[in-house]
Amino acid sequence: MFRRKKQRLEGGGDTSPPLPASGRLWLLAALALVVLPQLPRMPLWLSAGCVAVFGWRLLHEYRGWALPKKWLRNLLAVGGLVLVAWSHRAIIGLEPGVALLTVMLSFKLLELQRLRDAMVALFMGYFMVVSSFLFDQSMHMGLYLLLAVLALTSAMVALNHPGGSLGHSRHYLKTGGGLLLQSLPLMLLLFVLFPRLDNPLWAMPEEGGQARTGLSDSLEMGSITDLADSEQVAFRVDFDGPIPAASQLYWRGPVLWETDGRRWERIGMRPQREIPVFEVDGLALGYEISLEPSRRHWLFALDLPLQLPEGLSDPVGIRPDMQLLSASELRSRQRYRLTSTLDYRLEPDEPLLWEEALQLPSEPNPRSQALASQWREQGLDDEQVVDAALAMFREQPFYYTRQPPLLGEDPVDAFVFESQRGFCEHYAASFVTLMRAAGVPARLVTGYQGGELNPAGGYLIVRQSHAHAWAEVWLQGQGWVRVDPTSVIPPERIESLDDSGRFEETGPARQLSDGAWLTRLVWQFRSNWDALNHRWDRWVHGFDRHRQQELLRMLGVDGLSWQGMVMAMVAGFFVLLAVVAVWLLRQPRPRDPILRLYEQFCRKLAAIGFERRPNEGAGDFAARVVAMRPDLQRPIRRITALYNRLRYGREGADAQLVAQLKQELRQWRPHRR
């Protein structure tokens, strides 16, 4: 008794069994899968420290390296805490919190001795799987983390198999996979019926993320040209009905008013909570936008939105110039629904914006101002001035090119009268300048035009390469009218047709020749993969309350409140339990092969008059028979000892011992006296 007490004191009170070697290796492999996605997000020295700890533990397993003493482990833990705090300038928060968890989990490997330590590390691994979704909710990350969960579950099976070895790895995987499959019905029940908030579960803000490529709140000739080379996705659009023609797809973004002759900027306007009144001439189009993070405030809408977006957590307002703005920066993917019209008539803006719509710098671009004055001297009204400017771009040798020459001190004059080669912002900025010089109120609108149809998913992909700029002029009796001067350039004066997809139905398919089978195959794979990721984003990552109600309607359940969903979830849980119970009762009880061999031994003894009593242990039964038949002592004790070792010993179902037991039973033929 005193010896056991001393052992408990020396072991810190941990009486759990030691870990099998196979379980330790399975646990190390599973935790490595869990930690791996976190390493690129941490500072280099923290990542290197975690890798070094894993290497130390592997060397302990394969080379017998000694693990650090307790004082050194404590020192390393304190050092890890200090490094995390110093690297992130904080301990509390998404990135520092997950980094600290990663470091502490790695250090836990240095004291991994008993089953209790392993279970703590195992459950920390499960928790880290959840934390990984706070950074990346993509489909490929979901598949990777499913593999990590399978490895963790298989490691749990291996840790609870004392007599196992790496040769049993197939059994561990099969058992772990079976456990995951058994949990699938409950997981689906909770996923479908658990009451949702207005936003998805994983809509966590990105901390300290880098700004994405995209439109800014200003424009300078050449800025959108930089975006033309970017294939990065700006947003994806799912239409409720047919997709309009590419020439009608103007995705409205920042509206620019002030200029110094070269640079255009927005003006301060207070966003409103109601859409300004305007006249609608066409049908309404419903659609949903999945907007990529931009670290900007503006949202994009098909020109022109009829209502404020639905499905966003932060308040959204609309400026008098019809630009949608979010109250906070968009640091994570946003999904929102809109209804827009393509045919509309905007009313004139407030008088205080009238001066802004005619603002021009006093000195730059004198030749452009002289040209506008000449149109007015010819007696042209506002609409005729617009037509005159468009006719100039169409009839004179203006070229559309993504490699325009550098412009001088007066960029509009240099473009209109000298180079006559430019991109969309050259045409839009020059057109607005000419209109204002002629006394026609005008403003410059930036956004995206067109899109790329994904045939595998039936939705539109708008990339940064679709960035565009156009103009709006105010005409008497018509209000604000969109004018796109770039669209009047004849096709023969477009130097690279592939780069001007906004003039036709867009998509990579237009770039493929009939013989480019490899390119076509790559594009098809890319389209299918993007479609799969988009469906994942809509139905898994973006499974909010609106999507939940939509799915329930598809299942024939409409208008279910959150109380009803809770009741349905509880009822479904009990139905699942009942189904599992019935299934288990109908299954034949699996026969233990070791128990089956022992029952054969008992039948042989029963044949000579020794029936095993109910609840009589193997040792007690053997002792009773040997007391009455001493001549059978050796085979009975030998067979009973083999059975006890196989049944209760650390070796488990050792193949050699099983073969020995079978041989003993075959050779032994007891007889009556």
Task: Name the residues annotated as catalytic.
Answer: 424, 468, 484
Give phi and psi for 148, each to the nearest 5: -65, -40
Strands of 459-463's sheet in order across: 334-341, 284-291, 233-239, 459-463, 452-454
Closest C-alpha to 84, from 145, 138, 43, 36: 43
635-646 residues labelled b (16+ CB within 10 A) or e (exposed): bbeebbebbbbb
CA distance 64 to 45: 26
CA distance 568 to 555: 13
Q: Are 466 and 451 in contact (CB under 8 A)?
A: yes
Burial of 518 (0-12, 13-18, 19+ CB in 10 A): exposed
The helix/strand/coil state of 318 is strand
For 434, the token pair is 């000419």
Tell me the pairing of strands 324-326 and 298-299. antiparallel
Cα–Cα distances in Å, from 656 out to 21, 52, 142, 158, 596? Answer: 20, 40, 43, 21, 17
Give phi and psi for 155, each to the nearest 5: -65, -35
CA distance 325 to 265: 16
CA distance 338 to 194: 26
Give Dmax over CA atoms of the chain in angstroms: 137
3-state secondary structure 69-82: CHHHHHHHHHHHHH
Give phi and psi for 99, each to the nearest 5: -60, -45
CA distance 231 to 501: 13
Q: Are 302 and 235 in contact (CB under 8 A)?
A: no
For 196, the token pair is 């949702």
Q: Are 446 and 248 in contact (CB under 8 A)?
A: no
CA distance 465 to 449: 9
Cα–Cα distances in Å, from 393 out to 224, 364, 398, 439? Answer: 20, 21, 6, 19
Burial of 43 (0-12, 13-18, 19+ CB in 10 A): middle
For residue 585, count other CB atoms closer than 10 A to its CB.
7
For 355, the token pair is 């001066």
CA distance 404 to 422: 5
* Long-range CB contacts (within 8 A, 24+) of 63-69: 67/110, 67/111, 68/110
Cα–Cα distances in Å, from 336 out to 251, 256, 311, 547? Answer: 14, 24, 5, 11
CA angle at 336 for the pair 481 and 205, rounded to the nearest 5°: 120
